[in-house]
C-alpha cells in the first residue's frame, strides 16, 4: 500500500529551492557558483526594525499571541492598507501568518473542495499550482506570453472560467515576469469577474513596493470596490523591508473567509513568531526612507542584467516594470548542442547547462508554467551580476 498521500505525490517541490540546492551542492565541492535562483533582497533589515525586535525580546514578548496575529499588528496592517491602498479593513478582517505564503496556503485550504478550479495566469510563482493541488483543487493554467506583457486578457479569463472556478490568482508585480497590471487592466478583468459571482480574487501584492514606474499601484479591491466582498488582498514585509526570514505576511478580506483561515492557522502553525510580529509593527508604522535606495539599486541591476542578456544571440528580454527578476526568452537557443555534443532541447536543459558550464544558477521557465524562458533574480550584488551575465553570454556562445 502507498504510505505517502496522493495529494503530496501529485505536487512538486519548489523548483527555485531545488535549483538553489543544486547550486549549493556544487559550492560544497568547491565550484565557484553564482546563485541567481533565489528571490530575496540582499539588503539588511532596516535598523529601526531590528531595534524593535530586540526591544520585544527584552520586554519578554515571548508568549503565544492571538491566532490571527496580535491586535497591535493587525491595527498596523489596517493602517497600511488604508494609507497605501485606500482599503478599509477592521482587525477582524485581517490575518497575519508566516509569510504571504501561508496566507495563500490558508486561503486555499479554507475554501477548496475536490474538483474546485483555480485560474492561474502564467508565468506564475512556482507555489501557486502546487498549493492548489495540495488543497485538492485543480489548477487551470492560462499561459500569457511576452507579447501580452505576460498578463491575462479579459478574453482569456472569460474562457478559463467555469461553474467550478473558485479563485483567480493575480500577482502584480509578478514573480517571475515583473509584469504589473494597471488600474485600467484590472478594471477590464473586473468586467468579466462581475459576470461570474462564484469567482473570488486572490491578489498577491507582495512586490507592491518594488516598482520602477511612477504610475500609482493598483490592487483589485480598490480598483473595483464591488469586488472587495470576494477579494483577499495579500501582502507582507518580506520583500519591501528585506525581512524574508522573519516570516510575516498578512491578508485582508471578508470576515467569514478570515475566520475560516484562522481555523486553518489555529490547527497548524498557530501564528508567526511574537518577536517577528513586534518587528513588523515597527516596519509598517516606521519611516520608508530606505525604500528609494533599495528600488534604485534594483533598477540599476535590472538595467545592467537585461541590457547584457539582450546582447546574447538567441535571447530576448524586455525590461520588467516591477519585482526583482528578469524573465528572458531563450527559444532561440533551444535545439543547439553544448560543447560535449548534448542537445539542449528545453529551458530546463539550458538552466542545467548554464549551471554546469558557467556556474550560474537560474530557474527554468517551465517551473513557472511558461517554457522557453528562464528566470534570473537580480537581487544580488552588482559585481556578481556583471560576472554572471558575462559567464552566461560565454556559455551561450559555446552552443552550436
Point out which residues bind ligand PLP (CB under 6 A). 39, 99-101, 125, 171, 175, 204, 206, 236, 238, 244, 249
Name the residue nearer to ligand PLP (CB basis): 301 or 344: 301
- State the minimum distance, in angstroms, from the CB of residue 206 to ligand PLP: 4
**Cβ 93 to ligand PLP shortest distance, Å:** 19
With DSSP H G I counted as helix, E B as strand and the rest as coil, what are the percentages for the chain, rounded to 5?
A: 45, 15, 40
Least gap, CB of 244 to ligand PLP (angstroms): 5
The residue among 167 and 353 lying less far from ligand PLP, judged by its C-beta, is 167
- Distance between alpha carbon 98 and the CA centroid of its chain, in Å? 14
The minimum distance between CB 297 and ligand PLP, in angstroms, equals: 18
Minimum CB distance to ligand PLP smaller for 212 or for 241: 241
Distance CA 332, CA 334 (A): 6
- Tell me how far, at minimum, the Cβ of 368 lies from ligand PLP, in Å: 10
Q: Sheet harboring 165-171: ordered strands across? A: 94-97, 249-252, 231-236, 200-204, 165-171, 117-122, 138-143
* Residue closer to ligand PLP, measured from CB, 199 or 242: 242
Read off the C-alpha cell for 343.
Answer: 542537445
Strands (E), the chain: 34-35, 94-97, 117-122, 138-143, 165-171, 200-204, 231-236, 249-252, 325-326, 336-337, 343-344, 360-361, 363-364, 374-377
Q: Which is nearer to ligand PLP, 141 or 334 (CB)?
A: 141
C-beta of 123: minimal distance to ligand PLP in Å? Answer: 11
Instruction: Pick the closer one to ligand PLP by CB: 103 or 352.
Output: 103
Least separation, in Å, of the C-beta of 39 and ligand PLP? 4
Q: Which is nearer to ligand PLP, 78 or 175 (CB)?
A: 175
DSSP code for 204 = E
Query: With respect to ligand PLP, which residue has the nearer C-beta, 112 or 395?
Result: 112
User: Smallest distance, Å, CB 121 to ligand PLP?
Assistant: 12
Question: How far is CA 248 from its chain centroid?
Answer: 14
252 or 396: CB nearest ligand PLP: 252
Closest chain position to ligand PLP (CB) = 99
**β-strand 249-252 against 325-326: which pairing, if any?**
unpaired
Beta bridge partners of 171: 204
Residue 280 has a CB neighbour count (10 Å cut-off) of 32
Name the grid cell of 216.
500609482
Q: How far is the CB of 176 from ligand PLP (least distance, A)?
A: 8
Q: What is the DSSP code string of 117-173?
A: EEEEEES--THHHHHHHHTT-EEEEEE--GGGTT---HHHHHHH--TTEEEEEEESS
The Cα 184–Cα 78 span in angstroms is 25
Amino acid at each position: 500500500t502507498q504510505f505517502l498521500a496522493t495529494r503530496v505525490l501529485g505536487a512538486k517541490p519548489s523548483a527555485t529551492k531545488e535549483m538553489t540546492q543544486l547550486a549549493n551542492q556544487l559550492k560544497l565541492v568547491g565550484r565557484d557558483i553564482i546563485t541567481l535562483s533565489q528571490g530575496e533582497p540582499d539588503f539588511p533589515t532596516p535598523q529601526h526594525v531590528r531595534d524593535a525586535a530586540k526591544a520585544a525580546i527584552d520586554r519578554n514578548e515571548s508568549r503565544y499571541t492571538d491566532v490571527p496575529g496580535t491586535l497591535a499588528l493587525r491595527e498596523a496592517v489596517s493602517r497600511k492598507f488604508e494609507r497605501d491602498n485606500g482599503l478599509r479593513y477592521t482587525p477582524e478582517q485581517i490575518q497575519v501568518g508566516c509569510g504571504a505564503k501561508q496566507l495563500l496556503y490558508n486561503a486555499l485550504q479554507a475554501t477548496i473542495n475536490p474538483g474546485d478550479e483555480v485560474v492561474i495566469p502564467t508565468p506564475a510563482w512556482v507555489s501557486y499550482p502546487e498549493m492548489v493541488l495540495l488543497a485538492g483543487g485543480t489548477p487551470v493554467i492560462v499561459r500569457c506570453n511576452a507579447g501580452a506583457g505576460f498578463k491575462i486578457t479579459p478574453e482569456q479569463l472569460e474562457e478559463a472560467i467555469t461553474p467550478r472556478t473558485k479563485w483567480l490568482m493575480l500577482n502584480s508585480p509578478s514573480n517571475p515576469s515583473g509584469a504589473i497590471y494597471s488600474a485600467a487592466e484590472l478594471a477590464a478583468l473586473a468586467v468579466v469577474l462581475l459576470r461570474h459571482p462564484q469567482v473570488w480574487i486572490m491578489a498577491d501584492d507582495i512586490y507592491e513596493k518594488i516598482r520602477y514606474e511612477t504610475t500609482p499601484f493598483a490592487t483589485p479591491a480598490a480598483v473595483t470596490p464591488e469586488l472587495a466582498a470576494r477579494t483577499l488582498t495579500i501582502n507582507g514585509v518580506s520583500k519591501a523591508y528585506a525581512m524574508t526570514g522573519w516570516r510575516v505576511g498578512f491578508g485582508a478580506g471578508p470576515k467569514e473567509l478570515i475566520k475560516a483561515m484562522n481555523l486553518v492557522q489555529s490547527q497548524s502553525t498557530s501564528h508567526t513568531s511574537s518577536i517577528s510580529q513586534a518587528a513588523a509593527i515597527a516596519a509598517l508604522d516606521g519611516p520608508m526612507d530606505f525604500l528609494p535606495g533599495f528600488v534604485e539599486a534594483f533598477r540599476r541591476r535590472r538595467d545592467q542584467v537585461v541590457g547584457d542578456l539582450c546582447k546574447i544571440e538567441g535571447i530576448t528580454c524586455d525590461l520588467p516594470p516591477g519585482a526583482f527578476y528578469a524573465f528572458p526568452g531563450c527559444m532561440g537557443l533551444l535545439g543547439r548542442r553544448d560543447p560535449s555534443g548534448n542537445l539542449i532541447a528545453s529551458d530546463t536543459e539550458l538552466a542545467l547547462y548554464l549551471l554546469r558550464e558557467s556556474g550560474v544558477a537560474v530557474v527554468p521557465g517551465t517551473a513557472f508554467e511558461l517554457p522557453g524562458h528562464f528566470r534570473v533574480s537580480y537581487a544580488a550584488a552588482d559585481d556578481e551580476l556583471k560576472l554572471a551575465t558575462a559567464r552566461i553570454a560565454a556559455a551561450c556562445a559555446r552552443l552550436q
